[in-house]
Amino acid sequence: MEAADLATVEMKPVPIAQDGYEVTTADGVWIKQYVFPLAGMIAPQHAHAWSHTTMLAKGAIYVWRDGVLDRRYDAPCAIYIPAGVKHTFQTIKNDTMVFCIHNALHPEVAAVLEKHELEF
């Protein structure tokens, strides 16, 4: 599967449960799980006030940073997302699973600076 052209791709919303597993650990790490059931799904993301890591636990994704295609990532791997960078994912395989990992000791652990909306 090739990376989508975000400027021209026809978006079709697919309802998926985004209220997955979420936990703050005793050592101050906040973790949120996302499971994407289908290849080709595009997850518009946003920019956070603090840098964080996205752990790709299963599957494969393309990642865009500030609208520019970064590259393909295959599980398992950690993807560093700097503070202030809008990030978008496109799944390449069915049942892709990612975990967003933030430092819970920062105030407003996953504070959003800017949303990255896609038009449907």
Q: What are the structural domain ranges in the chain?
A: 34-115
CA dist 48 and 97 (Å) reads 20
Structure confidence by residue, pLDDT tens digits, 78-113: 999 999 998 889 999 999 999 989 888 876 655 555
Say whether domain 34-115 belongs to CATH 3.90.1150.10. no
The answer to whether 114 touches 46, Cβ cutoff 8 Å, is: yes
The answer to whether 3 touches 73, Cβ cutoff 8 Å, is: no
Structure confidence by residue, pLDDT tens digits, 5-52: 777 766 665 555 555 778 888 888 989 888 999 999 888 777 888 899
The answer to whether 52 touches 100, Cβ cutoff 8 Å, is: yes
